[in-house]
Structure formats: C-alpha cells, structure tokens
Amino acid sequence: MSSNNSYCKNVESLPKKFDSINKMIAKSMRPISEKLDAISKQITNIFSNFDFSYLNELGRELKNVTDDIIKFKTIIVELGYPPHEDIAITDIRRIVADYAGFGEEYVRSYLDDLMFEIYDETYLDHILLPEFDSFEAILGK
C-alpha cells in the first residue's frame, strides 16, 4: 500500500512540477521574446515611414507596357512582319505611340530601317549560325 501511496503523491505533485518547468522556460525565453519584440517594433517603424505609393505607379506602368506589347504585336503583323521578341521596349513603345498618333504609313516609313538596325549582320550571325551548325551536325555534313 505504501508504494501506491507514493505513486499517488508523485502523480499529485506533477502539476506543480510542470508549473515549475513552465516558469523556468518562460523565464529563460523572456530575453529572447523581448529582443524579438524590439526587432519587430524596429521593422514596423522602418516600414511605417516608407512610402509605398510608388508601387501603384509602377503597377500602372507595367500594365501600360503590357498593353503596348500586345498592340505592337498586332501592328507589326498588320505591317507584314512576324511578331518580334527581340525589340527593345523603348522601340516597341515608340512604334505603338507613333502608330496611334501618326498612323500606319508613318510607322511603315521607318520600320524597315529600324529592323535593319536591330537585325544587323552580327545579330543574325549570332542567332542563325548556331542553328545552321546544328542542322549541319544533324545532316552529317
């Protein structure tokens, strides 16, 4: 019976022991928690003073660029060219603006020269020679 009594006392003392362990853990974690709170406040202060309004402008500009790329592909095909992926965004936006402002004939008047400027001999060699070499390797010549 004595062992049962001892067992019961041990079981009854468990909540006190767990409470003691929890207090020790809380005490040892307090400095860490305080440091994390301080860091969190610093981060909050940094971002509370930061102006994110430019992100709205950036979003609008990205939408405009996307719209211009879609318009450019339509315009370029209408003018008899295949859609291009290698034209600088500044040229794409200029073509779209010129097409809207001055019309098809105006864009057509400079588009060939622009294409020759972009797709010069060096560029074409860089693009076409590797493909030609791979065809040559496939054909065994």
* DSSP sequence for 51-105: --HHHHHHHHHHHHHHHHHHHHHHHHHHTT----SSS-HHHHHHHHHHHHHH-HH
Weakly modelled stretches of the chain, pLDDT under 50: none
Quick one: pLDDT at residue 75?
Answer: 95
- Tell me the pTM: 0.55
Look up residue 55 and give its two tokens.
């992100």
pLDDT digits (tens, 9 = 90+) for 76-96: 999 998 877 788 999 999 999
Q: What per-residue confidence (pLDDT) applies to 99?
A: 97
